[in-house]
Structure 1
Amino acid sequence: MLGQRRSQRLQYQETALKPAAPVLLAGLFCFIAASISSAGGVGGGGLFIPMLTIVGGLDLKTASSFSAFMVTGGSVANVIYNLCTTSEKFGGKCLIDYDIALLSEPSMLLGVSIGVICNLVFPEWLITILFAILLALSTFKTLRNGIFYWKIESETVRRSANAELEDGVSGDGTCGETGEGIKSLKEPLCRMEGSEKSRFPWMKLGVLLMIWFSFFLLYLLRGNRYGQGITRMKPCGWAYWVLSLFQIPLAIAFTACILHGRKRLPFQVPVQQGIGDFAQNGSFKELIFPLMALLAGILGGIFGIGGGMLISPLLLQVGIAPEVTAATCSFMVLFSSTMSAFQYLLLGMEHTGTALIFSIICFIASLLGLLIVQKVIQEFGRASVIVFSVGIVMGLSTVLMTSFGALDVWDDYISGKYMGFKPPC
C-alpha cells in the first residue's frame, strides 16, 4: 500500500474512532469523489484513502478498510443501475460486457496478489515514482481519448443539425416531416430507456462467482504474512507460498476454460476508428483482455488502488466505447472490492458500523452521479463525459496519492529509516 508506514507515525490517534468534524468533512469530500468516480466506473480508492487520512485524520489501516467498503457501495450502485438499463445504441443490450469480465477477472485477481508482494519488496520512493509516472501518462491518454470522442460526437451533432435543416423547419421550431424537432440533437449517441432488455446471462455470472469464491477460499486458507487467517498456517512458510503460487495455475485454468468454451468473443461494441491499430478489421486478439487485466491487477496491488482505475484507460485505448467501459469496469470492481471487504471483516476489522455508513454514503453518491451523467448524455449526446470523469479521478488521484507518498518518503529519509528493497516477509 502506498504510504504503508504512515500508520506508525499516527500514534496520536486512539483505537476508537472519534466522530469529529474532520471525519464528517472527509465524508463530504468522499461523497463528491464517489459521484465523480461512478460516472467512469472506477472505484475511487485513489481518492478515498488520501481524503480519509489527510482530511479525516484516520490511520492508513482504518482508511484502507473503509475504502474497501466505500468502493463496494459505489460498485453495487453502478451494477444495479447498469443491470436495470439497456442502450439502443448497442441494439438494446445491457452495457455490461460479461465476456470481457469473464476473460479479465481471473488475471486481475492474480495480478493483485503479485502486486501486493511487489509492494512489500519495493522501497517507498520507487513505488511513489512509478505511481506518479504511470498515472500521469494514463491521465494524459485518457483525456486525449476524451477529446477524440468529443470530436466524434460534435461531428455527429453537426450532421444531425444539417439533416434537420435540409428537411425543413417550420415556424414554431418543429421539423416539418419528422415531427421530432430538436429532440434528435439531444439523443444522437446513447439513450437508455430500459424498455428492451436482453436475456440475463446467468451462466456467465455463475462462472464469475465460482472464480471469486475460488480465489477467496485461497486467501482465507493462506491468511496474510502476520498469520491472520482461518487456519493456523505459519506466516510465509512453505504452505503459505504453495497456496500463493497455486493462484497462477488457477487463473490460467479458468482463462483457458473460458477461451476453450467459445470460438470467438462476441463484442457488444464496434472498435472505434483511430484507437488501437491492432484492433482494426475485427481481428481483435482475445488474450489482450487477460493481459491487460493482469497488468492492471499488478499495478493496482503495488500502488494500493483498485484495478478499475487502471483497466478503464486500457479498455478505452483499445477502442471499447466509453459507456461499455464504465459499466464493465464497475462490474469487475464489484468482485475485487467485495473480496477485500470480506477479508477485512473475517480478519477482525474494527469500526464496521462506521464503514457501513460510509459505504451507504458512496452508494447514494454513485447513484446521484450516474443519474446526472446519464441525463447529460441524453440531453447533449456527450458520452465523452464518462471519459473525462475517469480522467478527472485519475488526475486528482495522481496529485493526492503522489503527495501522500512523497511525505512518507521524506519522513523516512529524515528519520534515517532503511529505504532499500525489503524481503516479502
Structure 2
Amino acid sequence: MKSHGFLKWVCLPITIFTILSQSQAKQIQPISNPLKINQFINQISKWRGTQLSTATRTTLAGLLCFVAAAISSAGGIGGGGIFLPILNIVVGLDLKTASSFSAFMVAGGSVANVIYNLFGGKTLIDYDIALLSEPSMLLGVSVGVICNSVFPEWLITVLFAFFLAWSTFKTCKAGIFYWKAESEKACRRVIVESGNGWVGEEKESMKEPLLGGERETSRKTPWTKLGFLLMIWLAFFALHVLRGDGDGDHHQSITGLKPCGVGYWIISAFQIPVAIVFTVCILYWKQSRVAGDGFCNQQEEKRKEQLNGSKSSCSSSLRFPTMALMAGVLGGGFGIGGGMLISPLLLQVGIPPEVTAATCSFMVLFSSSMSAVQYLLLGIKHIDAALIFTLICFVASLVGLVIVQTAIVRYGRASLIVFSVAIVMALSTILMTSFGAVDVWQSYMSGKYMGFSLPC
C-alpha cells in the first residue's frame, strides 16, 4: 500500500506536466509574452558574461570545486551533482563538456580517497561488497545512459528531485541516529570513569570512532579481489570499446559498428549476461571459502546487529547487487556518479559510516575511471583544463579526509561522515533541481518538443 501511495504522488505531477506540455505543443509559435522569470534568467546570464572575466570565473569555480570535493571526499561520494552546476553556471561550459570534466574530477577525488584508505591507516574498504556490487553498477550505468537519451528532460528532473530529496531525508535521519548512539556511548564512558570501574579498555577505545569500531581491519592487501575487480572493469570496458560510444559524427568504434544498429544492440545486451556471470561466480567463490575469510563467516556474524536484526546469510548478500543496479541506473540517467546514490542505501542496511565511505569511494573509482577513459577515447575538449580541475579535486579530497578523520579521532563522531553525505546531497538536490528546472522552463517557453525520444 505504501508503494502505491508513493507511485501516486510521483505519477501525479508527471501526468499534470504531460497534459500541459501536450497543450503547449499545439501552439506553433512560442509564447511571446515576456515573463519575469525569463527576464531574471536573462539578466543573470548577461551579468555573468559581462561582469566576470574568464580568469575570474575559472578561479571562482576552482575554489568552489575545492570546497565541494573536500566535503564529498569525507562521505566517499564523487560530488558530480555539485561539480556540474558549478562548471555550467560559473564557468559557462556546456553540459557535455561539463560532464566530461566532472568525470575526471570525480575520478581524481576517488583516487585520493582510495590511496588514503589503503595507505593512510587501517583498511576500512569492504571488498566483498565492492565485488558483489561492481558488475551490477556498471550494468546499471549503461542502462541509465540509454534512459537519459530516451526520457524527456522534465521527467529526468522530476525523478531526480524526488529521489534525491528522499535520500537526503533518509541520510539525515541515519546521521541523527548515529549521533544519538554515539552520545549515549560517550555518556556510558563518563559514568564508568567517574565510578572508578574498569576504564582501561574504554580509554583506549576513545581513540577509535564510537561506531564502526568492531570491524576487523587488516593491513594486508587482497590482491585476488583487486584482480577480480580489474577483470570486471576490463570486461565492461572492452564491450564499450567494441560497441563504440558517442552519437552521430562523434560515434567511435574499433569495429566500425553503426550507432543503434543490430550489432550495437547485441553488444549492449551482452552486458547483462556478463554482469550475471560475474555476480554468480563471486557468490560461489565466497561460499567456497567459508573456512578462510569468506563472505559468510566472522564478518557476517559481526554484522548481525548492524543489519537491523535481519538474517545474516549469503542469500542476504544479493541486496548489494540489487542496490548497485538501481544506483547505477539512477546515476547514469541523472549524469552523476553512483556513489551519491549507493551511499545512503548502504547506510540504510546498517553498514557503519566509515566502512560505507571507504567502500563507496573505492567503487566510484572504477565507474568514474571508466567514464574518464571513454571521454579520452572520444576526444575530450580542453583536456589541459580538465586535468587542472582534476588535480584540484585530488588535493581537496586529501585535505577533506585528513580534517574529517582528525575530527572523528578527536571527538569520536563517525556520524560526521553521514552528515557530510547529507550536506552534499542537499546541495546537489537544490542545485541540480533548480538548474534542470530552468532548462525545462526555457525549453517549454521556446516551444521545443518535450516528449520521449528514440535512443539514437
Could you say whether these structures have the same fold, taking a TM-score greater than 0.5 normalized by the shorter chain as the test?
yes
The 3 A distance-change label for structure 1 pair 197 and 181 is closer
Quote the Cα distance in structure 1 between the aligned partners of 2:278 and 2:262: 25
Asked if 1:40 corresponds to 2:82, the answer is no
Instruction: Indicate the residue corresponding to 2:236 in structure 1.
Output: 215
Task: Give the direction of change, closer, same or farther, for the CA distance of 1:205–1:375 in structure 2 (3 Å limit).
Answer: same
Structure 1 residue 415 and structure 2 residue 439: aligned?
Answer: no
Contact residue 24 and residue 56 of structure 1 kept, 8 A: no
Alignment of 1:122-201 (within 5 A): 122-167=151-196, 185=206, 187=208, 189=210, 197-201=218-222
Equivalent pair of 1:308/1:332 in contact (CA under 8 Å):
yes
1:42 maps to a residue whose letter is I
Which residue is 2:31 aligned to?
A: none
Name the structure 2 match of 1:404: 435
- Sort the Cα spacing of 1:272 and 1:54 in 2 relative to 1 into closer, same or farther, 3 A: farther
Q: Distance in 2 between matches of 1:141 and 1:283?
A: 26
Deviation at 1:408, TM superposition (A): 1.0
How big is the shift at 1:231? 3.1
For residue 167 of structure 1, give the secondary structure of its aligned residue in structure 2. Answer: coil
Structure 1 residue 272, shift from structure 2 partner: 7.3
Deviation per CA, 1:218-249, whole angstroms, max 9, x where unpaired? 11111123322333211110010001000000
Match of 1:362 in 2: 393
Aligned to 1:102: 131
Query: Unaligned regions of 5+ residues in structure 1, if any?
Result: 1-8, 88-93, 169-176
| Higher normalized helix content (fraction of residues) | 2
Aligned AA for 1:130? Answer: L
> 2:264 matched to 1:240?
yes
Letter in 1 for 2:67: I
Q: In structure 1, give the amino acid aligned to 2:432.
A: M
Name the residue aligned to 1:298: 329
Percent identical among aligned pairs is 65
**Cα distance in 1 between the residues matched to 2:177 and 2:167:** 15
Which ranges of structure 2 fall in alignment gaps of 5 or more residues?
Answer: 1-41, 288-293
Instruction: Please give the secondary structure, in 2, of the residue aligned with 1:262.
Output: helix
Match of 1:111 in 2: 140
Alignment partner for residue 202 of structure 1, among 212, 220, 223? 223
Find the aligned partners of 1:181 and 1:414 in 2 and give their Cα distance. Answer: 64
Distance in 2 of aligned mates of 1:140 and 1:97: 25
Matched letter for residue 313 of structure 1: P
- Corresponding residue for 2:366? 335
Q: Deviation digits for residues 342-389 of structure 1, max 9, x if unmatched?
A: 111111112111111111100100000000000111000000000000
Aligned match of 1:4: none
C-alpha offsets along residues 17-70 of structure 1, whole Å, 9 cap, x if unaligned? x95211111111000000000000000000000000011111111111110110
Question: What is the number of residues matched between the two proteins?
Answer: 394
Which of 334, 338, 346 is the matching residue for 2:377? 346
- Write the distance in 2 (CA, Å) between the matches of 1:51 and 1:406: 16
Residues 175, 419 of structure 2: 8 Å contact kept: yes
Shift of 1:189: 2.4
* Partner residue, 2:295: 265
Q: 1:126 to 1:191 in 2, by over 3 A?
A: closer
Distance in 1, Cα, partners of 2:212 & 2:132 = 28
Do 2:114 and 2:362's aligned partners in 1 also have CA atoms closer than 8 Å? yes
Does the aligned pair in 2 maintain the 1:187–1:380 contact within 8 Å?
no
User: Do residues 250 (structure 1) and 274 (structure 2) align?
Assistant: yes
Q: 1:22: which partner in 2? A: 57
Which residue does 1:54 correspond to in 2? 89
**Per-residue CA shift, 1:167-205, capped at 9, x if unaligned?**
18xxxxxxxx9689977655452799xxx8432100100
Structure 1 segments (4+ residues) deviating >2 Å? 177-192, 224-231, 266-277, 279-284
Range with bigger deviation, 305-314 or 281-290: 281-290
* AA in 2 matched with 1:65: S
Residues 318, 419 of structure 1: alpha-carbon distance in 2 compared, 3 angstrom cutoff: same
SS of corresponding position for 1:287 = helix
Displacement of 1:281: 5.6
**How many angstroms apart in 1 are the aligned matches of 2:238 and 2:209?**
47
Structure-2 separation of matches of 1:236 and 1:185: 58
Q: Aligned equivalents of 1:144 and 1:190: distance in 2?
A: 16
1:131-180 CA-to-partner distances (Å, cap 9, x unmatched) read 00000000000010000111111011111111111118xxxxxxxx9689
In 2, Cα distance between equivalents of 1:401 and 1:372? 27
Q: Tell me how far apart the structure 1 counterparts of residues 136 and 212 of structure 2 sit (CA, whole Å).
A: 33
How far did residue 273 of structure 1 move?
A: 4.5
Aligned to 2:341: 310
Match of 1:3 in 2: none
Alignment-derived partner of residue 174 in structure 1: none
> What letter is aligned with 2:274?
L
Pairwise CA RMSD: 2.5
Residue 181 to residue 255, structure 1, CA distance change in 2 (3 Å): closer
Matches within 5 A, 1:365-380: 365-380=396-411
